[in-house]
Chains A and B, each alone.
Chain A
Amino acid sequence: MITVFVPRDSAAVSVGADEVAAAIQREAGDAVRVVRNGSRGMLWLEPLVEVVTERGRIGYGPVSPAAVPGLIEAGMLAGADHELCHGVVDELPWMAEQQRLCFARVGVIDPLSTDDYEAHGGLRGLRTALERDPAAVVAEVTESGLRGRGGAGFPAGIKWKTVLDAQGPLKFVCCNADEGDSGTFADRMLMEGDPFCLIEGMTIAAHAVGASEGYIYIRSEYPDAVSTMRRAIDIAYAHGWLGENILGSDTSFDLFVRVGAGAYICGEETSMLESLEGKRGMVRSKPPIPAITGLFGKPTVVNNVLTLASVPAILADGGSAYAELGVDRSRGTQVFQLAGNIARGGVFETAFGITLGELVDGYGGGTRSGRPVRAVQVGGPLGSYVPAGQFGLPMDYEAFAEAEAMLGHGGIVVFDDTVDMAAMARFAMEFCAEESCGKCTPCRVGAVRGVEVIDKITGGDDRDGNLALLNDLCELMTDGSLCAMGGLTPNPVRSALNHFPDDFSSGAATQKEAT
């Protein structure tokens, strides 16, 4: 029996993986076992078909359903050479040069196979954690230097310690899987490709802080991640990985999936908590912090998917091993996501410190359109635009902050030289106006005024006066907003203005169209 892997990841499915899997099964019949794995993260090769051979897993991609009969005739099932053949997938530079901790199993295993999970190192972290005192588990996470991967980069160990020290019979662990930032998709890929890893990470967190109940808040735009996580949770209960006395220990933990309803703001932690309570996703003022007064007023750990999914490896191999990777105060690995107008887009997990240029020009291969890169937006819709001239920047939280940019969740969106940066600045304000929760005035009203004032600038209406007004407005939004939505929207606006002022002169867009 030959084993063939065809991803079930929704990005692979979006370009025909289901049809390819069906075609292979139809053409090869009982001779093959088709396993639907997660994606390896080389999204430009999707659908990437892998055939298990003595040499290793041989990859073919991108495979269209129509190409399947020809590939099988050419000997794909024996790993034969072909113009779509890339050789042994693990030996490709893209794969071999990564340091995959979080994503170690994604694309490798059948996401819902507990045997696969354990055979590839799963549960080692949880078993280690359950043998230790909660405080020792928190200390291990603190030693690792792990910082929140959702964007803010707050040290996870300190957050956990606060919840551990908070008194109360009921505590929660909440996973923020409301991955709304454009250019980020690693949370989705992990949930679809290795859901047990997130369950394991959350269970370790529950043991560490004394929580008995957990929620994974997944955005409704990710229906495949929702169904995979729900199935994985059912399987985990059946295996004693969740519920009462987990793996024979004293720890009990119940885990639930909750689905968002199309509100970007619910990626902000307090808004997510409101939403989990069944309310409008209105941002709360901080303090009190969620670690002390969180979900339903109880002490609550709120962490991003990748933060929690990094925890099993930290417990399995030790916090110091994790801390050896990375630079300065950015320890361990980050899952970078190459997106937008890029030749080779996907997920690249490596230690902090790699430069922006190595990722975009090197691994990413520049733009998909073949035109020069003009700007990249790092860290989602609230992140700054960085010009190609700053590609020497190392990917770490502090270096980016110093350059008035933001690493965020590690998403990098590439634009070629046809981009109109004034239009992108206007879109940032438009997006903020659309998605603001409306609680604070700088964000709710400021974003609407921002769109208007940018229109006046590009329309040539008192340009200098309106530029001054825009700067004023940005300063007010930064200083006066309740949360990052209004507070960081000026990032893309100001960076576009600083690096690409010519785009804001009247008639710039029409001139661009003419060229």
Chain B
Amino acid sequence: MAVESAGASVAERVRAVVEAHRDERGALLPILHGIQAEFGYIDPEVVPILAAELNLSRADVHGVVTFYSDFRSEPAGAATVRLCRAEACQSVGAEKLVADAEQVFGVKLGQTTPDGSVTLQQVFCLGNCALGPAAQINGRMYGRLDRTRLVEILAKGAEA
């Protein structure tokens, strides 16, 4: 793999994202969302590029990236399952759903299955508190989940 040409293209893509938000006030968060949408994650190697483009220190950019739990430093699985663990979902069995999901996929919260098919995450509240337990799967919200329904949804998603 031609590391240098790949590196150059990464930098170009990063700069394109920066340019799209250059006129916005306090643009770092929109830019980081843009980088994650572009690459699927925020590789530590883009931090110095962003710092140079925005006239910030690397430490500033690194500090912002690591503060927010949405920004990931490595790629996620094909499907991202975010299980709500906040109080309202706990009152209808969220902790059991978490245990079930960990058993079904064989990974803990925060991990990705070895085949890269599923990333399991916790989230505190999706705003579906009357129809819990809730989860967000690839950006879409699901309610009244149990082990069976969770497995069904992911099986359907895999076919599509």
Contact = CB atoms under 8 A, between A and B. Distances in A.
Contacts of A263: 67-69
A414 B29 CA distance: 36
A221 B125 contact: yes
A88 B130 CA distance: 23
Contacts of A233: none
B29 A278 contact: yes
B18 interface: no
Contacts of B39: none
A15 interface: yes
B127 A10 contact: yes
Interface string A419-432: 10000100100010
The dominant DSSP class at the B interface is loop
A15 B131 contact: yes
Contact of A414 (B89, B91, B126): B91
Interface in B125-160: 125-132, 134, 136, 139-144
Interface stretch (B5-13, B20-28, B100-108): B20-28
A116 B26 CA distance: 36
Given A338-B130, A340-B87, A416-B91, 15 more contacts: A13-B141, A15-B142, A181-B125, A182-B129, A184-B125, A187-B127, A220-B70, A259-B29, A262-B68, A262-B70, A278-B27, A280-B64, A339-B129, A340-B88, A341-B91
A15 B144 contact: yes
Contacts of A337: 129-130
B129 A258 contact: no
B100 to A, nearest CB: 18
B130 A339 contact: yes
B26 A11 contact: no
A318 B111 CA distance: 54
A180 B92 CA distance: 19
Contacts of B29: 258-261, 275-276, 278
B127 A413 contact: no
A185 B69 contact: no
Contacts of B123: 221, 262
B47 to A, nearest CB: 14
Given A11-B143, A15-B143, A185 B92 contact: no
A78 to B, nearest CB: 30
Most-contacted residue by chain B among A46, A220, A224, A339 (CB, 10 A)? A339
A330 interface: no
B92 A223 contact: no
| A-B interface, 7 closest residue pairs, ranked by CB to CB distance from nearest | A345-B130, A278-B28, A182-B86, A261-B68, A339-B129, A14-B143, A278-B26
Nearest to A186: B127
Contacts of B60: 279
A276 B27 CA distance: 8
A182 B87 contact: yes
B130 A346 contact: yes
A381 interface: yes
A338 B87 CA distance: 13
A277 interface: yes
Contacts of A277: 25-26
A241 interface: no
Contact of A345 (B27, B32, B126, B129): B129
Contact of B124 (A14, A413, A414, A435): A435
Given A262-B69, A279-B28, A296-B26, A411 B129 contact: yes
Contacts of B68: 260-263, 281
A259 B31 CA distance: 11
A264 interface: yes
A368 interface: yes
Interface in B47-72: 60, 63-64, 67-71
Nearest to B125: A182
Nearest to A434: B124
28 contacts: A11-B141, A11-B143, A13-B141, A14-B131, A14-B140, A14-B141, A14-B142, A14-B144, A181-B125, A182-B88, A182-B89, A183-B129, A185-B129, A187-B127, A222-B127, A256-B24, A261-B68, A261-B70, A262-B68, A262-B123, A263-B68, A276-B25, A278-B64, A296-B26, A340-B132, A345-B129, A413-B129, A424-B90
B129 A279 contact: no
A44 interface: yes
A188 interface: yes
B124 A280 contact: no
Interface of A: 10-11, 13-15, 43-44, 46, 179-185, 187-188, 220-224, 256, 258-264, 275-281, 296, 337-342, 345-346, 368-369, 377, 381, 411, 413-416, 419, 424, 427, 431, 434-435
A180 B69 contact: no
A259 B68 CA distance: 12
A434 B28 CA distance: 23
A258 B89 contact: no
B15 interface: no
A473 to B, nearest CB: 21
Given A183-B129, A340-B88, A261 B71 contact: yes
A31 B71 CA distance: 47
Contacts of A413: 87-88, 91, 129
B129 A179 contact: no
Contacts of A184: 125, 127, 129
Please indicate which of the listed interface residues B28, B132, B136 has the most CB atoms of chain A within 10 Å of its own CB. B132
A337 to B, nearest CB: 7
Contacts of A220: 33, 70
Given A221-B127, A278-B27, A261 B32 contact: yes
Given A11-B127, A220-B70, A427 B87 contact: yes
Contact of A280 (B63, B88, B144): B63
A193 to B, nearest CB: 12
Contacts of B27: 278
B37 to A, nearest CB: 11
Contacts of B86: 182-183, 381, 431
B92 to A, nearest CB: 5
Contacts of A44: 130
Contacts of B26: 276-279, 296
